[in-house]
Structure 1
């Protein structure tokens, strides 16, 4: 059984989420209340863990006292609250369970939507030889990565069930078709770095595809 979450751990996680939310909202990456962010809190085992996550339906360009809540490994609130966790919380649960990562950031952008459709038939987005692949601690010369794409089912548990089949621990991201990227890292700093790298790479891949036509 994991130790209870301390108030200071909760407050630190909420403060880190607020900072990340503010920075990413300024980039326009949360249109129309979309997207969600989470940070793991306290001890971890694949069977039992807790994380702080953005509440559903909130305008992420605005900070309020009710933007975040704590949930367990099943995506259920761990404290009495009137807030609802994001509808996609179960996807976060599955990524935490499989990777033990420290934070997961999910955003909707035009370029990540475009490349998810462009490469849908391949079921992954290829990125070849671009310098920013090194942001994922992949240092091979002319490295090639493939970012997996999952179908954007309305039934979230159906999506979560597919995560183990495509997750590549070398590539810290999964795309939902015409929806958005889930990027994760060992901590909030790394998750942000990975997310920014993915977004740069997606724009590069899309623009390079147009130039080659």
Structure 2
């Protein structure tokens, strides 16, 4: 059975995955206020023709209701009749899907990802070197060095999209908005979750490492 061009069983699977991830991240305090958003792509993918489920705008993500998610198309418009509004940053999800063909995107606000984004704003990237969890991104070089892109945070969301397009690094499945939060993605929900958890570990590592350098005068 299909509805709005999407197989019903696929819709149900995606909604169950999103509910599970939302509950887990909420328990970690990663959605302060009504911040953050989650999405999972559903159905076939073409760069100019795809659909995904995304968190509805203004919802308390520590709660679970029948109106937590809605389906939108590649332009961020609802794929089926609904009174729900997609998250304000849906256009950023659209662009990341279009550029990467990924299967899921998770966006959270934490103290560590906000602080390090500001700490390294002048260089427009967060440097990480030799930390084991870089391997979560399938980067296996000995003492690997990565630079996690940081982009401007504008109130006008469409103004952010061109910078995401320009700065996205195919090796790094994530991008940070300055003093805002991390977008992490993967081929599916499991991989996106793994990447997000790795990023958050690395952000805390970088922050604490910088504190130690300051205390030791390095």
Structure 2 partner of 1:206: 207
Deviation, 1:209, is 0.1
Whether 2:151 is the aligned partner of 1:150: answer yes
Determine helix, strand or coil for the equivalent of 1:105.
Answer: strand
Structure 1 partner of 2:190: 189
| Alignment partners' CA distance in 1, 2:164 and 2:74 | 15
Structure 2 partner of 1:91: 92
Tell me how many residue pairs correspond in the alignment: 211
Structure 1 gaps of 5+ residues are: none
Structure 2 partner of 1:39: 40
Determine helix, strand or coil for the equivalent of 1:162.
Answer: helix
Structure 1 partner of 2:117: 116
Deviation, 1:169, is 1.1
Structure 2 gaps of 5+ residues are: none
| Alignment partners' CA distance in 1, 2:163 and 2:78 | 24
CA-to-aligned-CA distance 1:67-114 (integer Å, 9 cap, x gap): 000000000001110100000000000000000000000000000000
| Alignment partners' CA distance in 1, 2:12 and 2:33 | 26
Asked if the contact 2:152–2:163 (Cα under 8 Å) also holds between the matched residues in 1, the reply is no
Normalising by structure 2, we get a TM-score of 0.96
Deviation, 1:61, is 0.5
Structure 2 partner of 1:80: 81
Structure 1 partner of 2:104: 103
| Alignment partners' CA distance in 2, 1:183 and 1:121 | 22
| Alignment partners' CA distance in 2, 1:178 and 1:48 | 32
Normalising by structure 1, we get a TM-score of 0.98
Determine helix, strand or coil for the equivalent of 1:168.
Answer: coil
Asked if the contact 2:38–2:106 (Cα under 8 Å) also holds between the matched residues in 1, the reply is yes
| Alignment partners' CA distance in 1, 2:161 and 2:27 | 29
| Alignment partners' CA distance in 2, 1:138 and 1:195 | 15
Runs of 4+ in 1 over 3 A off after TM superposition: none
Structure 2 partner of 1:56: 57
CA-to-aligned-CA distance 1:111-147 (integer Å, 9 cap, x gap): 0000000000000000000000000000000000001
